[in-house]
Structure 1
Amino acid sequence: MNHSKKIKELRESTGMNRREFCDYFQIPYRTVTEWERDNRHAPEYVLRLLEYYIRTEKLVNEKAGDNTDE
């Protein structure tokens, strides 16, 4: 998968629009826009870190939801 598709897929998996994603991860809006348009490429380590963080946060949120049901 190319970088532009990967960054967009990661952003969409969070349910955030581009502005929310940028604000949450403190990445300049123009940077993410350029990544998604394939004008610039996000470093591979950034993609891996974003993917890891998003996956981890989802797990944390699911566990927190399970605790409130008890």
Structure 2
Amino acid sequence: MELSEKIRALRAETGLNRKQFAEHFQIPLRTVEEWEAGRRKPPEYIPRLIKYQILYEQQFGKQNKKEHDDTV
């Protein structure tokens, strides 16, 4: 899978549009657009870091929400 496809797939996994994805991961919007279009390539580790962040937020975001809901 090309890096551009990996970035698109990761964004699709989050359910965010490009602007939201860029803001969430603190990546310039233009950079995300260039990556997805294949005009620029991110360093090899970037998709991996984004994936780890997504997994972390899925795991701990749910726990934090549950803990918050239990205290309210």
Shared topology, TM-score over 0.5? yes
Look up the SS of the partner of 2:23 in the other structure: helix
- Tell me the residue number matched to 2:4: 4
Q: How far apart, CA to CA, are the structure 2 residues paired with 1:32 and 1:20?
A: 11
RMSD, aligned α-carbons: 1.5
Structure 2 unaligned blocks of 5 or more: none
TM-score by length of 1: 0.87
- Tell me the residue number matched to 2:36: 36
Question: Counterpart amino acid of 1:43?
Answer: P
Structure 1 unaligned blocks of 5 or more: none
1:59 aligns with 2:59: yes
> Shift of residue 12 of structure 1?
1.0
